[in-house]
Amino acid sequence: MRPKTTAKSPSTTTLLNDPSFNKGTAFTEEEREELGLTGLLPAHVDTLETQISRVHTHLEAKGTDLERYIYLMGLCDRNETLFYAVLMQDPARFVPIVYDPTIAQACLDYGQIFRRPRGMYLTKHMKGRLKEVLSNWPTRDIRFICITSGGRILGLGDIGANGAPIPIGKLQLYTACAGVPPNALLPIHMDIGTTNRDLRDNPLYPGLHEDVASSDEIDALMDEFMQAANEVFPGICIHFEDWKGTDALRLFHRYKDDYLIFNDDIQGTASVTISGLTTALQIKGEALKDQRILFAGAGSAGIGISEMIAEAMQGEGLSESEAQEAITLFDVNGLLTSTRDDLNTYQQPFAKDLKDTKDLEAAVKAVKPTILIGVSTVGGLFTEGVVGEMAKHCDRPIIFPLSNPTENAECTPKDAYTWTDGKALVACGVQFPDVEVNGQEFHPGQANNFYIFPALGLAAYATKATKIDSEMFIAAARGCAGQVSDSARDKGMLFPPQKDMLATELRIAVAVARNIFDRGLAGVEEPDDVGALIQSHVFEPVYQSNKD
């Protein structure tokens, strides 16, 4: 049963333009008479299934995924139920269209493809009146806000207001992958300016044509935003997405203890990485605490994954210092060593007493990692020499080139499998095709955050969680890894298949909800059947009677 919406039915004159209520050609004859729609629609009454079939016909006529993206966003603007019915019917097909990798091109072309506003658009010039502006949103029962500055988008860098599709797409995945009701979601772009001069000089750029605010100005602005959002939308969870690395880490640590927040780039990426590592280590019959891990990339994603892996290692018995010692990072200036004076507060715990080097192959030789993780956005960084050096000291190296879009991947699965004679365990940030090496077919995993954040969102929504922390993300990781079958592992798969995404995410949500209840962090009483609680909050894309 679809959860009831709290909004009131719109007037007849606006009904066909309201995506939450519009059924298009599926309005029954009785509804058309009652609502004053007679004569405004073609005579035949379609079923939802017929409308879905028509959408597929339209999509097949499009020449590119960007054209399909534009069509689907228009559909969402017209008929939300039909939009989600299409997506939820086949998420493996449609997630790559409405999100990564197609959304990268949508962001680059945002000024050209902009049709109508979605969500809210705040700016640094609204400081002092953010509560008033947020109050312009027509409903108050909002449970999740996804907010971005556009400061670091999918390897594209600072694209400012052109990053507005990111929170829109992220929240659409909450619904498409885990059934979080869409009327509880609000995407926001916080326009703090942009360092991208080309955008500022482009007359079609839709954001502020101004340089980016200072860190102090951003902090003051976001302090006001956090307070205002919690006053206007009580119980709100703030999902930070694609902020510049230094801003992301600073704001995350600034608010994580006082507000209900999470940062998907930091925590979601870390969680899905741990999920893949869990499966890979189960294949190897080894424990996480016994691994040596080298990161290529030491920004917000690299630090976030490192911190959560260190916490998971402590859960297996290591001390904090022992866990940090097992993790080494490498960035654009080379290994993070104790002699460097350019490390920030979050990088310093992982600095090592090693010889400085800017050569990744030399770093692999020195560290001898069993796990190599790429979050550098440097395409091709994992060369044959790097992977070969790793294979010298590790029979089954775990190699995760996680950067996206595709051209930014540190290596391809084909390279990793070929250079290790098929022994590597591989997951990437985007989906690559199957690979055959030495007569064996491999299906490389996609370490995509959409396995994690929608399920965690559903768990938090259903339990009214009072806090979101790393333990919940680790629970989500384990809930995800536990769904990979032995036959899938034999093909190199480290994540569950995407075709049954909703069922997969509901099981992950149950694992997270149990963690929330076990730790006393729920705002509702624990039921006898946690699975039933989760299921009762799942949005179903079906038309409601106008009398509901």
Catalytic residue annotation: 99, 170
User: Rounded to an integer, what distance in angstroms lies between the CA atom of residue 426 and that of residue 447?
Assistant: 10
Q: Could you tell me how far CA 239 lies from the centroid of its own chain?
A: 10
- Neighbour count for residue 399 (Cβ, 10 Å): 30
* Phi/psi of residue 145, nearest 5 degrees: -115, 130
* Cβ(63)–Cβ(43) below 8 Å: no
**Percentages of the chain per state (helix, strand, coil), in multiples of 5:** 50, 10, 40
Q: Give the side-chain half-sphere CA count within 13 A for 8.
A: 4
- The verdict on whether omega for the bond into residue 203 sits within 30 degrees of 0, i.e. cis, is no
The DSSP bridge partners found for residue 144 are: 185, 237
CA distances in angstroms from 368 to 174, 291, 328, 380, listed in the order given = 39, 10, 10, 20
Please provide residue 227's backbone torsions phi and psi, each rounded to the nearest 5 degrees. -65, -45
E strand or H helix at 120, and its extent? strand 120-123
What's the token pair of residue 299? 């920004």
A 10 A CB-CB count for 286 gives 14
Query: Each residue of 229-262: b (16+ CB within 10 Å) or e?
Result: bbebbeebbbbbbbbbbebbbbbbeebbeebbbb
